[in-house]
Structure 1
Amino acid sequence: MGSASRAVSCLCCPCRCLACGLLSCLCSILISLLVTLGVLALVLYLIFRPHMIAATVDSASLATFTLSPTSSLAYNLTVAVTVRNPNKRVGLYYDNVEALAFYKAQRFGYDPIDAFYQGTQDSTQLKPEFHGQQLLQGDVTAAQFRQDQTDGNFAINVGLNAKLRVKVWAFKVRGPKARITCSLLVPAPGATNGATFQPTDCRVWF
């Protein structure tokens, strides 16, 4: 009875039967494609096992760091950062690389860095330099600055931003934007309390 009813329905409206068949076929193709892509992604992950890049600030020094009565910060900061690619089968291109320096959540320094390529399990040391003068706004007061100077250390954040491209065999694909943040305690210029900079690991965000 059901078969006869469907046959009559198709005879009355063949377009509807054709549409149902096309829809069913498209659904099957879509499901097969999704399964294939999922299996391919899993296989690629198992082959390449991508790891997060890592970064460490090896050294940081302040030749100048003074705040005027008008909150103008004069600075001369040098930093050495080692960036590591731990992947065994994935190379990385770093484009539009920039280094930033912050004090009390306010940016005071900027240094563009040349683009570079990092091979598998390779390390690259970057040496951004920040020098000049910058007017600080709002919350930064002379009292806070003097307190940090008395303590012998300035809490400075250094960031690195870069757009990544990923190289797998001969293929290159656009990757995410990497953001590296490093929270540092940098000895004050001429500090007499014996403070020394300690190598510091950074956090990496995508």
Structure 2
Amino acid sequence: MGSASRAVSCLCCPCKCLACGLLSCLCSILVSLAVVLGVVALILYFIFKPHMIAATVDSASLSQFALSASSTLSYDLNVTMTVRNPNTRVGLYYDDVQALALFSDQRFGYAPLDAFYQGTQASTQLSPGFRGTQLLQGDVTAAEFRQEQSAGNFAVDVDLNAKLRVKVWAFKVRGPKAKVTCKLSVPAPGAANASPFQPTVCKVWF
């Protein structure tokens, strides 16, 4: 009875049956395409085995870091860091590279850096410098500054932001945005009780 009803329906409205057939065919094609793309992506992953970039701050020094009564920070911070591409089959382009310096979660320094390319398993040394003045907000920040100055070391964050492009053989594709966060303990200028700077491994986010 059901088959007879469908046959009658198709005889009465052949366009409806054609549309249903095309829709079913399109769905099958889309599902097959998704499966193929998934398999290809899985194969490429196991072939290239992409790894997250690595970054380390090798040195950091403050020749000036003073907070005025009006909460204006005068600073001169120099940093040397190494960024490494651990991949054996993937090259990386770094575009729109920016270095930021923060104290108590407030940005006080900004340094644009040149774009660069890293071949497989290559390392690049970067040397962002931050100098100038910046108004800091809040009494808590001023209290934290005085406390850390007395302790001999300042907790300073240095971030590195970049847009990545991935090179696989002769092909270049847009990659994710990378953010490198480095939490540093930098000796206060002229502090006799300061602990020497220790190389610091950074966290990388995508």
The TM-score with structure 1 as length reference comes to 0.96
What residue number does 2:132 align with?
132
1:71–1:140 contact (8 Å) kept in structure 2: no
Alpha-carbon distance, 1:3 to partner: 3.8
CA gap of 1:5–1:173, structure 2 versus 1, over 3 A, is same
CA gap of 1:141–1:55, structure 2 versus 1, over 3 A, is closer
What residue number does 1:98 align with?
98
What's the secondary structure of 1:24's corresponding residue?
A: helix
2:104–2:141 contact (8 Å) kept in structure 1: no
What residue number does 2:146 align with?
146
Name which of structure 1's ranges 163-172 and 186-195 shifts more when overlaid on structure 2: 186-195
Give the aligned length: 206
Residue type of the alignment partner of 1:26 = L
2:188–2:194 contact (8 Å) kept in structure 1: no
Which runs of 5 or more structure 2 residues have no equivalent in the other structure?
A: none
What residue number does 1:83 align with?
83
Alpha-carbon distance, 1:4 to partner: 3.6
What's the secondary structure of 1:131's corresponding residue?
A: strand
> Equivalent residues in 2 for 1:43-62 (5 A)?
43-62=43-62
Residue type of the alignment partner of 1:130 = F
Name which of structure 1's ranges 132-141 and 68-77 shifts more when overlaid on structure 2: 132-141
| Structure 1 runs (4+) greater than 6 angstroms displaced | none
Which runs of 5 or more structure 1 residues have no equivalent in the other structure?
A: none
> Equivalent residues in 2 for 1:164-183 (5 A)?
164-183=164-183
Alpha-carbon distance, 1:9 to partner: 2.3
What residue number does 1:28 align with?
28
Alpha-carbon distance, 1:191 to partner: 1.9
1:101-137: CA deviations, max 9, x gaps?
A: 0011111111110000011111111000001111111
Question: Once superposed, what is the RMSD of the aligned Cα atoms?
Answer: 1.3
CA gap of 1:105–1:139, structure 2 versus 1, over 3 A, is farther
The alignment status of 1:122 with 2:98, answered yes or no, reads: no
The TM-score with structure 2 as length reference comes to 0.96
CA gap of 1:74–1:194, structure 2 versus 1, over 3 A, is closer
